[in-house]
Amino acid sequence: MSKSRIINLLRNGQPDQQVTIQGWVRTKRESKKFAFMEVNDGSSLANLQVILEPTLDNYEDKLNKINTGASVEVTGTLAESPGKGQNIELQAQTVTIYGEADPETYPLQKKRHSFEFLRSIGHIRTRTNTLGAVMRVRNACATAVHQFFQQHGFLWVHTPIITTNDCEGAGELFNVTSFDLNNIPQENGEIDYSQDFFGRPAYLTVSGQLEAEAMALTFDRVYTFGPTFRAENSNTSRHLAEFWMIEPEMAFCDLKGDMDWAEAFLKHIFKTVLDQCPEDMEFFNKRIDDSVLATADNIINQDFERLSYTSAIALLEKADKKFEYPVEWGIDLQSEHERYLCEEYFQKPVILTDYPSDIKAFYMRLNDDEKTVGAMDVLAPKIGEIIGGSQREERLDVLEKRIKEAGMEPEQLWWYLDLRRYGTVPHSGFGLGFERLIQFMTGMQNIRDVIPFPRTPDNAEF
Amino acid sequence: MSKSRIINLLRNGQPDQQVTIQGWVRTKRESKKFAFMEVNDGSSLANLQVILEPTLDNYEDKLNKINTGASVEVTGTLAESPGKGQNIELQAQTVTIYGEADPETYPLQKKRHSFEFLRSIGHIRTRTNTLGAVMRVRNACATAVHQFFQQHGFLWVHTPIITTNDCEGAGELFNVTSFDLNNIPQENGEIDYSQDFFGRPAYLTVSGQLEAEAMALTFDRVYTFGPTFRAENSNTSRHLAEFWMIEPEMAFCDLKGDMDWAEAFLKHIFKTVLDQCPEDMEFFNKRIDDSVLATADNIINQDFERLSYTSAIALLEKADKKFEYPVEWGIDLQSEHERYLCEEYFQKPVILTDYPSDIKAFYMRLNDDEKTVGAMDVLAPKIGEIIGGSQREERLDVLEKRIKEAGMEPEQLWWYLDLRRYGTVPHSGFGLGFERLIQFMTGMQNIRDVIPFPRTPDNAEF
């Protein structure tokens, strides 16, 4: 454990310091008098430049083996770098080559590779600048999520992945079964689920919210952070069949409190990532999307505008702008409407509240007008909807009615209704897709490039 | 957000401080002159005692509604408590009752409930002392896991849940499919997987290790922390069909390094939980298993003994003890053998290394003797095996041979083999089941009681 990580040397290394590094060769350049190699160990975007002098043991042989992708250990002395772009370099005293990489077959060549090609080598693509930066930002972001909630006394709760609730995502659910699919037991012409692992049909979860509500009614503040699933046959740059979701749930919390938490959460996440990964974020701004830093700044420093869906519709109707989808009270807002509000009208993040009940889920709290529910969506410039949440219906009779209206049977949700029978409280929560958050934060165009091994229709390689 | 959490008041509250709390009533006692209620908000094992004087608005009516399980908000003044067992109590000025709980039907009564009964009310059982303490310890432990790895520069990587690798857990895999199970498309008498979501058979993962290895060969140090699955029909107190697993993977790390990380990891986790949840851990020691604190102390303060499997066999053969399963070189050690080594012979945690290759997985590094592999299992007193790990086989030719010997086809693992083709390095990792860790830490007998909503054969309620 006595080696140095390259990020620490680049930030704090001192000339004459004796160090050992381990990593992979990114490039090699030879001159008449000596050679350079750039070594990366995954800790930072930048490589450490290593100077190789001919006095090294087996210099020629080693130089032949030092190719892009090879793994090396170098011990030497740090020195001020005369070159531009780095402060420090490493003068090698000993070099060990652990594993070579044949330049003829190594899939990463010096040229630029398309993200599509890189997806076909998911086991190696993180060795590129962009995918490496994505995964570091992803880790910093995930850590910031835990940090935010733990600081505020939330418990991380692991809600179930396998569920028998089919009420929320009918048609988009993956089945989970231990049946041999070639030989599914039947009884009276129907599948005999009593012989399946769970004794009844089971699915992959689409959300941990209902279970998180149960936990919030004991622990007051909880959050989930785990994988969720959609068997939706959408081959787009914004859809994954498997993605991670974050769902906080707060007891004794109304819609205003919900908005306060969501705003504080987003500000914390963006601020922390900028703080932890400044080089990576600058890289995204320079190479991927030049609005990335401005968007982050906007989220961190602007108070979010809060207004009702009804007021938003009025603004959109008055707008001097032709929308593809016509605006009227009751519609689901389209991306063009959301972008107009954030990017043109308010020019900052916007939280819309109190949507028509017809376009929102059964568990959202019915307002006194009986036409709208206590829902809220957070919209951000360049991003669109990033968070969706609501106050939950805490009144037993209203919830039962809403469940029936949604075409479901209250008996199936007996335990969820129990939460309203025994010690019910006003409570609220929200959810956000972790990969969408990373996508927005980094400016990456395709969601498949912000998760290590994406699962999409016809694709579950690695 | 201006309310106080009860744990903070119990630890730092000062007499005469004006506070508001929100929570659920645990008990109520009435005397002639006034009444007491104990309120819990999930932040701590201990309740806050609240004094209710008849001068309160609607005193009689409120007292009727204050029953076990009801949700309340109380504003009042802290005062030194004359009673035993608490330093501070709350003299109520205003009390709001949000939700009642009918004492006739509320499932939690004052009597002791069996853990088995409590499992049938998984949405409410966390409101008991034991299950509440379990979930707080679980959260503290999960947070300590992230803290340990982040401090040491590991990236949290999200390896896939849905996988098409069936090489590791054949027979114990759950199928994942978007097929209508009543109508699975066939072609030439076989299932037409081209019509399934992923275009081929897919399963729930049993381990993220192979994918974590790919990430370690870019980022040097990574860990997974996510759900894994076994469709094993085991109805025992130690098996779950769905459980969370932690799998760190370190590049440039041999078996000794692996052991160093595993030992440092366990010490950190136990120390942090004792530090964060002292009341909960004392509760477990008092009420559940009186060896819990001694075991934790042993793990934190003893250097782990390290010896080879071969030496362990020699010790067991010499032992003055009759084992149910006879000891000879080549056997898989049984729990009785492991316990003898930890509890009787060494009386501290033990790491066994270099097991016979025949009883270990194909990816473990073959030793020079060609009979053993660089595996290591960490055994702890009262606990048994808590961590399993190994140095991974980094040599392409040896790995190919081992894959074939295990009856698998190297082509299926093309990308895993690529990691040995391009920049391979000595690397190591280990894995541990998170629920087993919590079970051991708390002394809870049944693993179903340390996860919010357990999934086991015939059981996926909630």
Q: What is the pLDDT of residues A235-276, one digit of tens each?
A: 999 999 999 999 999 999 999 999 999 999 999 999 999 999
Tokens 């499992």 belong to B119
Phi and psi at residue B108, to the nearest 5°:
-95, 110
* CB A376 within 8 Å of CB A430: yes
Q: Check whether residue A302 and residue A438 sit in a common domain.
A: yes
* CB A177 within 8 Å of CB A197: yes
CB neighbour list of residue B116: distance below 8 Å, 6 or more residues apart: none
Q: Check whether residue A304 and residue A404 sit in a common domain.
A: yes
* CB B418 within 8 Å of CB B399: no
Q: Check whether residue A95 and residue A140 sit in a common domain.
A: no
Cα separation, B262 vs B260, whole angstroms: 6
The mean of the pLDDT values for chain B is 96
Distance to chain A for B424, nearest Cα, Å: 5
Q: Check whether residue B139 and residue B35 sit in a common domain.
A: no
B417 in contact with A, Cβ within 8 Å: no
Six-digit token pair at B159?
Answer: 């390896």
Q: Check whether residue B276 and residue B357 sit in a common domain.
A: yes
Domain assignment of residue B455, yes or no: no
* CB A116 within 8 Å of CB A53: no
Can you tell me the mean pLDDT for B113-118? 97
Domain assignment of residue A107, yes or no: no
B146 in contact with A, Cβ within 8 Å: yes
Q: Check whether residue A95 and residue A133 sit in a common domain.
A: no
Q: Does the beta-carbon distance from B1 to A123 stay under 8 Å?
A: no
CATH of the domain at B23: 2.40.50.140
Q: Check whether residue B149 and residue B63 sit in a common domain.
A: no
CATH of the domain at B264: 3.30.930.10
CB neighbour list of residue A50: distance below 8 Å, 6 or more residues apart: A21, A36, A37, A38, A39, A74, A76, A89, A90, A91, A92, A95
Q: Does the beta-carbon distance from A1 to B260 stay under 8 Å?
A: yes
Cα separation, B385 vs B335, whole angstroms: 8
Of B42, B100, B153, Cβ closest to residue A220: B42
Of B1, B200, B455, Cβ closest to residue A160: B455
B11 in contact with A, Cβ within 8 Å: no
Segment A5-52, tens digit of pLDDT: 999 999 999 999 999 999 999 999 999 899 999 999 999 999 999 999
For B347, the 3-state DSSP assignment is coil
Residues of B in contact with A175 (CB under 8 A): 175-179, 181
Single residue among B99, B134, B162 that ends a domain in this structure: B99
In this structure, the strands spanning B71-80 and B88-99 are antiparallel
Cα separation, A152 vs B325, whole angstroms: 51
Note which residues in 174-213 of chain B have CB less than 8 A from chain A: 174-179, 181-182, 184, 190-191, 197-200, 202, 204, 211
Bridge-partner residues for A49, per DSSP?
Answer: A38
Which H or E run contains B338? helix B335-339
Domain assignment of residue B192, yes or no: no
Q: Check whether residue A146 and residue A59 sit in a common domain.
A: no
Q: Does the pLDDT of residue B34 top 90, yes or no?
A: yes
* CB B60 within 8 Å of CB B17: no
Q: Check whether residue A222 and residue A320 sit in a common domain.
A: yes
Q: How many CB atoms lie within 10 A of CB A279?
A: 14
* CB A214 within 8 Å of CB A208: no
Domain assignment of residue B201, yes or no: no
Helix, strand, coil share (%) of chain B residues, nearest 5? 35, 25, 40
The mean of the pLDDT values for chain A is 96
Residue A457's nearest CA partner among B174, B203, B178 is: B178
Q: How many CB atoms lie within 10 A of CB B310?
A: 16
Q: Does the beta-carbon distance from A123 to B200 stay under 8 Å?
A: no
Domain assignment of residue A367, yes or no: yes
Segment B321-358, tens digit of pLDDT: 999 999 999 999 999 999 999 999 999 999 999 999 99
Can you tell me the mean pLDDT for B221-247? 96
What's the pLDDT band for A87 if we cut at 50, 70, 90?
confident
Domain assignment of residue B457, yes or no: no
Cα separation, B263 vs A40, whole angstroms: 28
B104 in contact with A, Cβ within 8 Å: no
Segment B407-418, tens digit of pLDDT: 999 999 999 999
For A44, the 3-state DSSP assignment is coil
Could you give the ipTM of this predicted complex?
Answer: 0.97
Q: How many CB atoms lie within 10 A of CB A72?
A: 25
Q: Check whether residue B144 and residue B53 sit in a common domain.
A: no
Domain assignment of residue B65, yes or no: yes
* CB B123 within 8 Å of CB B108: no
Of A142, A424, A458, Cβ closest to residue B198: A458
Can you tell me the mean pLDDT for B282-299? 97
A252 in contact with B, Cβ within 8 Å: yes
Q: Check whether residue B291 and residue B348 sit in a common domain.
A: yes
Distance to chain B for A374, nearest Cα, Å: 18
Q: Check whether residue A269 and residue A338 sit in a common domain.
A: yes
Cα separation, B215 vs A214, whole angstroms: 36
The number of domains in chain A is 2
Q: Does the beta-carbon distance from B23 to A220 stay under 8 Å?
A: yes
CB neighbour list of residue B80: distance below 8 Å, 6 or more residues apart: B15, B87, B88, B89
Domain assignment of residue B120, yes or no: no
Residues of A in contact with B176 (CB under 8 A): 174-176, 204
**Residue ranges making up the domain that contains B149:** 125-170+206-449
B3 in contact with A, Cβ within 8 Å: yes
Single residue among A83, A99, A115 that ends a domain in this structure: A99
Six-digit token pair at A64?
Answer: 């032949």
